[in-house]
Structure 1
Amino acid sequence: MNNALRTAEARIREQIAAHCEANHVPGFVAGVHHAGEQVVVAHGTANVATGAPMREDTGFLFGSVTKVLTTTLVLQQVDRGLLDLDAPVVKYLPDFALTAPGAADRILVRHLISHTNGIDADLYFPDAKGRDALKTYVHGLASTCGTLFEPGEQLSYSNGGMIVAGRLLEVVTGLSFHDLLAREIYAPVGMKDSSTSAEQAILRGTAVGHFPDPETMAARPTNMFMLPDTWGPAGGTPIGTVADLLAFGRTHLAGGVSPSGTRVLSAESTALMQQVSYDMATPNVPPMGLGWVRYPFGDATVLAMSGASPGGVSLLCVLPEHDLVFAAFGNTPGAIMLQDQILRWLLSEHLGVPIPRLVTEPDQDVDLTPYVGTYRSNQLRVEVSIVDGQLEERLTYEPADESQERIFTEFAGGMTSGPPQRYVPVRPGLFAPAGYPLETFDGYLRLLLVSYHDLRDGRARFRNGGGRLTRRA
């Protein structure tokens, strides 16, 4: 191992130990592949109920990192001539419909994997298991979920789009999504410890998520290991290790060729996934490729996707121009802070990439009135008002039924609402949560910023928080 990577390993180990102890993170595992060499560092406990240690080969839920795997599967079928990115989804999936008549007919295959489809289903959690789970999900959309915008008009992080893409894959290949994932991604990439079910994962060491106790802040295990099978293609069910994610990242680093030399995806499709497909031109929503989110860090671009699971968070980053892949998992939601810290250290110290300040100074002269109002999306209401010269947001979860309320409540660790959050203006249409140091937003946590879009008659039509749109009611 070269000295630079050995130094990085030691520094990452120090960062993990310090952060986990100070912030009640039970366990954390991270890996870096750079210029042909690789290190994996594990720390702490995989499950506080059993005391099982977090090991370098401990498995964990990929969460939404799965979306890049799903997109890769879609592009494989494009390579094989079974799918056309610019064809309507209903060409292949005639039973795909939404509550608005004809709305689904205008959604193209490309829109599903570029988060530009407008499907308003981000909190839609139908509870179904087995081979027909994705069929059940798509069937339920017709009577449950509408649209936020016309396809291609805006960008909004879309779980629903990826799940529809998963069902589309089942129809054109004749295989279940899980079987397709195992055959076309896990096997050729060399993801030897990856699986698609809790039944498989329990046969080897697997971490569980944790949530902070409201009173003591000590970590307690989640009551739900994974989301229903209906959420598989969006990140509900796939499980694997850091080494497996590094192997997948290396495949995209190498133009679609796996570490073992197997061609997984054409060079053209691999490049297409990495190109900008939509750019909202706002700092809190990085340009979107196909599957990948393109985070600009000065002159460097980080292809990334993070993944929340019940009480855990994963991250996969690929830096093509620096021949580096970074993957990590922490088994409490706050571990994303540590992932951001390590990513920024790798960029600035290990690679020598200057990270410019994203937010310099708040702007006190911004007129706040265009942003006041009520914004809604599937089962979510956001009330925006002006309090003491700042914007104040109140988020309210509005469950559609008892089953979805149960699933979402468990996924969120019992917390479905928080206190009102104040925001200070950065510039017209862009706001930062009050009380945070401005350097917080230079890295991955730029997602904490909130933006407003499409002003009409002096009022914003959309709010974007965490990459997700809500529409003015």
Structure 2
Amino acid sequence: MTIKRGRAKLSVVIGAVCATMLTLSGPAAHARTAGEVHPATLAALKAFQAEAGPGAAVHAGDADGTWTLSAGTGTINTDRPIQPDEHLRIGSQTKTFTAAVVLQLVDEGKVSLDAPIADYLPGVVTGNGYDGTHITVRHLLQHTSGFAAYNPYPITETPKPNPDGTYDLAESVRKGLSRAPVSAPGAGVTYSNTNYLVLGLLIEKVTQKPVHEAITDRVIEPLGLNRTVFPAPGDRSLPAPAVNGYHGVRVGGFYFWTPALSYDPSLYSSAGAIISTLADLTAFYQALIAGKVVSAASLAEMQKVWEAAPGTGGDSGLGLGLGKYKLSCDTVAWGHSGGVPGYMSQTLVTEDGRHASVVTNVLFQFNRPDSRFLELLDTALCEDAPEHP
């Protein structure tokens, strides 16, 4: 996604706006806050939060250290800036974890990227115009299967629940496939959660474990992501400390927030159920890009992008569970965004160690401040970037 930076006029924020008072590493920074050292990022954060949720935060840095800035609050009617160790629901950033496990199975010779999904899940992707003998694992990972867009949402758009309120992956897949194909396999990109719900079934079939256990055993625990949880079906809890998620609207200088709808995490499963923190997300994506999660060959496959995928731009594209983003400082960053009721987040990392993870505690269905969101990420990654000759 090509991100253009410019001087944006800051909106007025009603309520508390504050930068976290973090001491930066190095002898010259002991008396300075992160906001003083990174003024452009602080300005971009304030501009984003003025159009986003009750609170917003960016956790960023480079190979030498990290810093965090917060604006607004993680809990309404309080002055409690969001911190990098607070839990949040990461939504579709889960897809990168799911993709990583699929690529691990490729490394182990248990799955082939270009094999039809019907080879592993016969009879699952069939009917209503779908033919799993022509849809490959790669198609699913890159959203080029032809599946129609499907975004489950509490109350309004869900598969049939179990009596205990949980959702079966197979039933979620059937719900997604009830929408007719939008293209032939491999003909174009259509972002659909159904792709990653099917991949969840694939992981379960090959590993013989529930997908939440497989991803925990293969990625979360080996990387020591102690504040990252893939909750089991039925576990609706959000570990403490937590960023509280909200629904809401902004009209001019007025806004109204209400707690986000409660839902069972199995509604999103392998497409969006994971809980993590800004700090843990940074550690995960850095480990992935450093070749510590999948083989070099598999990482190269993940980074083969479909150029100019919807929502990216001419200089960037969509890989296998990873997005490629062309920054204003002539650098490529890799990562993924996520959105579920109460949260909107994204993490980007570069191969030279720069990183930025952003969250706001509301998910907008309309008029999302995407341009402010991307400007904030770009500024955090590029404000202190080395000058190119």
TM-score range, shorter chain: 0.7 to 0.9
Q: Distance in 2 between matches of 1:118 and 1:109?
A: 13
Q: Secondary structure at the match of 2:73?
A: strand
1:350-361 equivalent positions in 2, closer than 5 A: 350-352=384-386
Map Cα deviations across residues 97-133 of structure 1 (whole Å, 9 max, x no partner): 3443552321001110011111114245315368862
Would you say the 8 A contact 2:44–2:375 is kept in 1? no
Q: 1:274 aligns with which of 269, 286, 303?
A: 303
1:242 aligned partner, one-letter code: L
| Counterpart Cα distance in 2 of 1:51 and 1:137 | 39
Q: What is the deviation of 1:94?
A: 1.1
Higher helix share: 1
Aligned with residue 312 of structure 1, among 343, 352, 355:
343
Among 232, 241, 247, which residue is 2:277 paired with?
A: 241
User: Matched residues in 2 for 1:21 and 1:165: separation?
Assistant: 35
Secondary structure of 2:74's aligned partner: strand
Residue 330 of structure 1 pairs with residue 360 of structure 2 = yes
Q: Provide the rounded CA distance (Å) in 1 between the counterparts of 2:326 and 2:127.
A: 37
Partner of 1:294, secondary structure, is strand
Q: Which has the larger radius of gyration?
A: 1
Structure 2 portions without partners, runs of 5+: 1-24, 153-157
TM-score, normalising length from structure 2? 0.77
- Aligned 1:441-456 pairs, distance under 5 A: none
Tell me if the contact between 1:16 and 1:43 (Cα under 8 Å) persists in the aligned partners: no
Distance 1:38 1:216, change over 3 A: closer
Aligned to 1:302: 333
CA distance in 2 between counterparts of 1:196 and 1:229 reads 10
Residue aligning to 1:209: 246
For 2:325, what is the secondary structure of its paired residue?
strand
Match for 2:357: what amino acid?
A
Q: 1:207 offset after TM fit, Å?
A: 2.4
Deviations 1:347-396 (A, max 9, x none): 44311578xxxxxxxxxxxxxxxxxxxxxxxxxxxxxxxxxxxxxxxxxx
Q: 1:141 to 1:226 in 2, by over 3 A?
A: closer
CA gap 1:135/1:55 in 2 versus in 1, 3 angstroms = same
How many Å apart are 1:37 and its aligned residue? Answer: 1.7
Relative to structure 1, the CA distance from residue 87 to residue 208 in structure 2 (aligned partners, 3 Å threshold; closer, same or farther) is: same
1:312/1:295 CA distance change after superposition, 3 Å: same
Q: Is the 8 A contact 1:137 1:230 kept in 2?
A: yes
Q: 1:106 aligns with which of 117, 120, 134?
A: 134
Q: Distance in 2 between matches of 1:135 and 1:94?
A: 13
Shift of 1:212: 1.6
Q: Deviations over 1:236-274 (max 9, x none)?
A: x2111011101101102312x2xxxxxx32222123212
Q: Which residue of 1 aligns with 2:21?
A: none
Q: Percent identity?
A: 27
Taking structure 1 as reference, are residues 209 and 182 closer, same or farther at Cα in structure 2, changes over 3 Å only? farther
Deviation at 1:71, TM superposition (A): 0.6
How many residues align structurally? 343
Offset from partner CA, 1:61-82 (integer Å, 9 cap, x none):
1111111111111101111121
TM-score (norm 1): 0.65
* Equivalent residue, structure 2, for 1:450: none
Tell me the alpha carbon deviations over residues 389-413 of structure 1, each in whole angstroms, 9 at most, x when there is no partner. xxxxxxxxxxxxxxxxxxxxxxxxx
- C-alpha distance in 1, partners of 2:166/2:309? 40
Aligned-residue CA RMSD (Å): 3.1
Which amino acid is the alignment partner of residue 248 of structure 1?
A: F
Q: Which amino acid aligns with 2:196?
A: M
Per-residue deviation, 1:23: 3.6
Q: Any unmatched runs of 5+ in structure 1?
A: 258-263, 355-473
Is the 2:41–2:376 contact (alpha carbons within 8 Å) kept by the matching residues of 1?
A: no
Instruction: Indicate how the Cα distance of structure 1 residues 12 and 163 shifts in structure 2: closer, same or farther if over 3 A, else same.
Output: farther
